[in-house]
Amino acid sequence: MRLTYLDSNSWSIEIAGVKVLLDPWLVGSLVFGNLPWLFKGTRRKSRSIPTDIDLILLSQGLEDHAHPPTLEQLNRSLPVVGSANAANVVEKLGYTDVTALSHRQIYTFGDRLQIQAVPGSPIGPTTVENGYVLTDLQTGTRLYYEPHGYHDAFLKEIGSIDVVITPIVNLELPLVGAFIKGQQSALEVVKWLKPTYILPTAAGGDVDFEGLLISILRASGTTDTFRTLLAQNDLNTEVIDPPPGEPIELEVRRR
């Protein structure tokens, strides 16, 4: 398995010989609802638009997961798998091969890769977006991704996972509390899934943020404090915090 962190929530994942582009924000600024005074993300360095990907995978319909300026520059004939909200975004942009997955539904890419949607992050009072379990159908290797740290109890039913990508740091707002859940939430999912590796997402990368939300945002926890939590709970999962833009190879042996 080969992973490349592309900042924020964006990843390139090579699994089962399939190149998956996950939640890409690669060009331009990141702004929610055309309100840069509220929140604006800016890249310190540009990321090239990949031309050799096989599949786009989107967990949510919000801009930090389904980033319209990035999606506008990708090949619209590529297959896209996403939540219902994400599917709506790409269909409006002219993508033609779009699959919206409900929770527990499965999409299969050829005879190589299986993608199962699992309940993920709540967005508003009635909508729950997607997390995903990716399975190499030849080797059985599995990866789990959830970008906000909301891990549904359904995961207890699916057995062990080799690689987990999820937040490790908490991001909190006054009166709201944590909207990105790391630390204890990540510890809980490690206890459930017993992964060989866990990689942090959402709170890192070569990006700068500004705006009203950033001025009141509070982060708690670090990679090192999470490693301490794992050790205190006799968990052998290895924490890997990859440099943005640098591919890493993960050797996974089926247990």
β-bridge pairing 11-15 and 40-43: unpaired
Nearest-10 crossing angle of helices 223-232, 184-193: 50
- Give the whole-angstrom CA distance, residue 26 versus residue 6: 8
> Residue 175: which pLDDT band, with cuts at 50, 70 and 90?
low
Is residue 100 domain-resident?
A: yes
Is residue 53 domain-resident?
A: yes
Is the pLDDT at 5 greater than 60, yes or no?
A: yes
Q: What are phi and psi of 212, to 5 degrees?
A: -60, -45
Residue numbers of the domain that contains 221: 2-249
Is the pLDDT at 47 greater than 90, yes or no?
A: no
Tokens 């980033």 sit at which residue? 67
Residue 173, Cβ neighbours under 10 Å: how many? 13
State how many domains the chain has. Answer: 1
Contact 218, 209 (CB under 8 A): no
**Burial of 228 by CB count in 10 Å (0-12 exposed, 13-18 middle, 19+ buried)?**
exposed
Is residue 95 domain-resident?
A: yes
pLDDT for 40 equals 77
- Give the whole-angstrom CA distance, residue 6 versus residue 246: 9
- CATH number of domain containing 223: 3.60.15.10
Give the model confidence (pLDDT) of 194-243 as tens digits.
999 999 997 767 777 777 877 787 888 899 999 999 999 999 999 999 99
> Residue 163: which pLDDT band, with cuts at 50, 70 and 90?
very high
Is residue 57 domain-resident?
A: yes
Write out the two tokens for 179: 């909207």
Is residue 186 domain-resident?
A: yes
pLDDT for 148 equals 95
Is residue 255 domain-resident?
A: no
**Burial of 199 by CB count in 10 Å (0-12 exposed, 13-18 middle, 19+ buried)?**
buried
Is residue 183 domain-resident?
A: yes
Is residue 254 domain-resident?
A: no
Helix (H) / strand (E) element for 98: namely: strand 98-100
